[in-house]
Chains A and B, each alone.
Chain A
Amino acid sequence: MQLELSAEDAAFREEMRTFFTTEFPQGIRDAVLEGRHLSREQIVESQQVLNRAGLAVPHWPEEWGGRGWSDLQRHLWHEEMQRAGVPTPLAFNASMIGPVIAQFGSQEQKERFLPATANLDIWWSQGFSEPDAGSDLASLRTTAVRDGDDWVVNGQKTWTTLGQYGDWIFTLVRTDPEVKKQAGISMLLIDMTLPGVEVRPIELIDGGHEVNEVWFTDVRVPGDLLVGDLNGGWTIAKFLLGNERVGVAPVGATKRALATLKDNAGDRLDDPYVRARIVEIENELLALELTALRVVAHSAGGEPHPASSVLKLKGTELQQAVSELAVDLAGPASIASGADDDSPLAGWARRSAPTYLNLRKASIYGGSNEIQRQIIARTILGL
């Protein structure tokens, strides 16, 4: 047992910290640190800066831009980005479809998509959930029917985050309705500019437009855009949702948000009850960060550490707890969400309630926290 980072890892962390704090566009960092929304252009620029420095997709195979880092180094990279207010690479590209194509795709698919995916020249959207297939994803009903060399897709996807920016969408579609539901699913890549693809916004409780419905009406998709085996989509989906050990919990970003909140809180910090709430959250964040470190330090090449399942559960709860504290500290100012920037009320306070409401999503997406409990109970505790 040893607390300190090795000299090599300490130097690695310093290198990351230096890059993120001195070579990354300050304007984007400021926006992130102040909790403002980023434009599509800012997100693309951000990823391209990282990609030029070889820091966008370090976990991919080295042939496609990966760096061959240890899980601990990836963890440090991820934490330092969040600490500096650097937007983490777009998850749909960097964490989801990129690793899937690298693992399951044809050589042609890899060459066509991976460089553009790493550089965010293609913005990917995720087409998994449907109105009747949420946590029970395998019940999805969007169909793809073979017609000559093409697939003809019909159906509806929902909760497509930032789908309004999407160039392409990776979808799970039903290619065999006759078999057990998990066995008849395939993964298909769909160009969102094709005829028959329609993106409709869903307005959320925070007043924002973040997610969409995506409708497919007789969309003809070329046959070479099926990833992996026909009817092998469920295996890919499990790989995509389950292979992540690093960055499962947004530790650095939540720490940053809490530190910013303390800065903004002013004399509200004189209230012992407020201080006590902060200590409770900070202490749980410490426990979460240490657990993340335990997980990454143990998982070199092998099976994920069982404790990784607690990261998503606790990580989202703490993310939500900080946002809730922000609303409480803002007080009446939190109500002024619709005031313009001429308002004398502080921006963080005006944004606090929409952020709090928005983050209720965190314990629902990516396998709801109830799904996480189910995984813990079944696969770890054997219940």
Chain B
Amino acid sequence: MDFTYDDEQQALRDAVRGLLDKQYGDYEVRRRTTAADPGFDEDLWGRLAEMGVLGLPFAESDGGVGAGPVEIGIVCRELGRVLAPEPYLTGVVLAGGLVSAAGTPEQRAEVLGAVAAGERVLAVAHDETDGPRWATDAPGTTATQAGDGWTLTGTKDPVLHGARADQVVVTATLPEGGTGLFLVDPAAAGDTLDRTGYPTYDGGRAARIVLDATPAVLLGDTATDRSATLATMLDLTRVMAANQALGVMQAQLAATTSYLTSRKQFGVTLNTFQALTFRAADMYVSLELTHSVVDWATMVIATGDRDRLTEAAARCALQTSRASRHIGQETIQLHGGIAMTAEYSVGTATAHLTVLDHLFGDGDHHLGTLAAGVTDHDTLEALG
């Protein structure tokens, strides 16, 4: 049992941190970047590709690096630390992960090679206008077989980075029932696809994608229900979202302690007031507890045990949700009015935590899942 990074992992962290600090160390740059479409920096995306970061999760035979969850988690934490708006979590981890899990060898090599090289941006179109929250089915989107190919019909919204994406992984209900996974090329879809991009409140980008008999390519050889694959990839992505949120929260606590020791009121710095320092101490407690759970869930992915991952992802997401709200809200409160302004980073950080919290299931959602299994065990064993 070991909670530390090895030398290579530390080197990866330092390299990614160095690159991201250079780009977004000054929050104003992040602000400028998110003010204009596509909402992230294409040059930085290319440098991340050169560094091998975009191919980390994928097998070497698919053009990737074949790294493990700890490495992917390191990248997500560093992205969170500077609120990098690049589409890594949904575009690489989730979309790439779905292609990796469901695609044929040819599809994997073709798509993931391009993703790893930074030549193609992916998105995942899963959430629906009137669909269930955080489920693995897609009742509002239907897949129809048309000759050798498929067409999809339905509306997906919100699709993160859906307006910029070169290729979209779409979930749809199969003719025989169950959830299928498809690839759609928006540029080739003509009038059968309509997409409307818009900004999200954390400076991110999303889109509404309306599919109307849109040509699509099935991921994999056979039209089988992929909801289990989707569930597993969503679980993995939940843990990576938690890694990203952890990076955000670490930065928020650092910003808060720095502010408390520099900002003066009543002629003294704010850390003179115990009412404030005790609240910061409680933020630290939340942060460290969450750090432990996120490390643990990341290591559970590496065991390859799917059932264990499902539970770990839910537990990790619950803890991260609670902590995100606590730390996000307190960061704003302890800074005061300045944190309400868009030109200062900490308010946007809380906004970003709120997005991460609602992407793949918030705390109460996972609480509900876990509540069903409360009598399945006697004590909960961290080490298995």
Binding site for B on A (CB under 8 A): 1-6, 9, 72, 83, 255-256, 258-259, 262-263, 269, 272, 275-276, 278-280, 282-291, 293-294, 297-298, 307, 310, 313-314, 370, 372-374, 376-378, 380-383
Q: Which of A297, A381, A382 contacts B3 (CB under 8 A)?
A: A297
B104 within 8 A of A: no
- Tell me if B222 is interfacial: C-beta within 8 Å of chain A: no
Q: List 23 A-B contacts (CB under 8 A).
A: A1-B2, A1-B6, A2-B1, A2-B299, A3-B303, A269-B375, A275-B372, A278-B371, A279-B318, A279-B371, A280-B367, A288-B289, A290-B295, A290-B296, A293-B3, A293-B383, A372-B281, A373-B281, A374-B278, A376-B285, A381-B281, A382-B257, A382-B261
Q: Are B374 and A269 in contact (CB-based, < 8 A)?
A: yes
Is B315's CB under 8 angstroms from A373's CB? no
Prevailing SS type, chain A contact patch:
helix
A383/B284 in contact, CB under 8 A: no
A378 to B277 CA separation, bound complex (whole angstroms): 8
Closest 4 CB pairs of A and B: A290-B292, A377-B277, A287-B289, A3-B299
Q: Is B280 an interface residue (CB 8 A)?
A: yes
Taking a contact as CB atoms closer than 8 A, the residue among A258, A269, A287 that contacts B292 in the complex is A287
B residues less than 8 Å from A290 (CB atoms): 292-293, 295-296, 382
Which residues of A have CB within 8 Å of B378? 259, 262-263
7 A-B pairs besides A290-B296, A314-B285 with CB distance below 8 A are A3-B302, A276-B371, A278-B371, A287-B292, A290-B382, A298-B3, A307-B288
Known contacts A262-B375, A376-B284; A293 and B4 CB within 8 A of each other: no
Measured as residues with beta carbon below 8 angstroms from the partner, the interface class of chain B is 35 or more
- Is B290 in the interface zone, CB < 8 Å from A? yes
Query: Are B3 and A377 neighbours in the complex by a CB distance under 8 Å?
Result: no
- Per-position binary interface string of chain B over residues 229-259, scored 1 when its CB falls under 8 Å from any chain A CB and 0 otherwise: 0000000000000000000000001000100
Residue B344 at the chain A interface, CB threshold 8 Å: no
Q: Could you say which of A5, A259, A286 contacts B315, with CB atoms under 8 Å apart?
A: A286
Are B278 and A373 within 8 A (Cβ)? yes
With A2-B299, A3-B1, A290-B295 already in contact, the answer to whether A310 and B288 are too (CB < 8 A) is yes
Pairwise interchain contact B280-A377, C-beta atoms closer than 8 A: yes
Name the prevailing secondary structure of the B interface residues: helix
Q: Is there contact, CB below 8 Å, between A1 and B379? A: no
Task: Check A383–B257 contact: CB distance below 8 A.
Answer: yes
> Are B284 and A310 closer than 8 Å at their CB atoms?
yes
A3-B303, A373-B278 known; A291 vs B319 contact (CB < 8 Å): no
- Which residues of B250-280 have CB atoms within 8 Å of chain A's CB atoms? 253, 257, 260-261, 271, 274, 277-278, 280
- Chain B residues whose C-beta falls within 8 Å of the C-beta of A269 in the assembled complex: 374-375
B70 touches A1 (CB 8 A): yes
Residues of chain B contacted by A376 (CB below 8 angstroms): 281, 284-285
Chain B's nearest CB lies how many Å from the CB of A232?
A: 30
Q: Which residues of B contact A289 (CB under 8 A)?
A: 382
Given A2-B299, A72-B1, A313-B285, decide whether A283 and B379 contact each other with a Cβ distance below 8 A. Answer: no
Is B370 interfacial (CB-CB < 8 Å)? Answer: yes
CB-CB under 8 A for A262 and B374, given A280-B367, A381-B257: yes
Whether A293 contacts B382 in the complex (CB less than 8 A), given A3-B299, A279-B367, comes out as yes
B residues whose Cβ falls under 8 Å from a Cβ of A: 1-6, 9, 70, 253, 257, 260-261, 271, 274, 277-278, 280-282, 284-285, 288-293, 295-296, 298-300, 302-303, 315, 318-319, 367-368, 370-372, 374-375, 378-380, 382-384
In the assembly, what is the distance between CA of A26 and CA of B297, in Å? 36
A283 in complex: contacting residue of B9, B370, B375, CB < 8 Å: B370
Q: Which residues of A contact B6 (CB under 8 A)?
A: 1
Contact of B285 among A282, A297, A298, A310 (CB under 8 A): A310
Q: Are B289 and A284 in contact (CB under 8 A)?
A: yes
Query: Closest CB of chain A to B288's CB: distance in Å?
Result: 4
Give complex CA distance A262, B373 in Å: 12
Find the A residue at minimum CB distance from B1. Answer: A5
Instruction: Select the residue from A3, A259, A297 with max chain B CB neighbours within 10 A.
Output: A3
- Looking at the assembled complex, report how far the CB atom of B346 sits from the nearest CB atom of chain A, in whole angstroms: 16
Question: What is the bound-complex CA distance between A121 and B375, given in angstroms?
Answer: 43
Q: Are A310 and B371 in contact (CB under 8 A)?
A: no
**Is B271 in contact with A383, judged by CB distance below 8 angstroms?**
yes
Residue among B280, B290, B300, B379 with most chain A CB within 10 A: B379
List of B residues within 8 angstroms of A6 by Cβ: 1
> A1-B4, A279-B374, A314-B285 in contact; A291/B292 too (CB < 8 A)?
yes
The answer for the CA separation of A147 and B210 in the assembled complex, in Å, is: 94
Give A4 to B261 CA distance when docked, in angstroms. 41
Q: A310 → chain B, closest Cβ, in Å? A: 5
For A262, what are the chain B residues with a Cβ–Cβ distance below 8 Å? 374-375, 378
CA A3 to CA B296, docked complex, whole Å: 7
Residues of A contacting B253 with CB < 8 Å?
A: 381
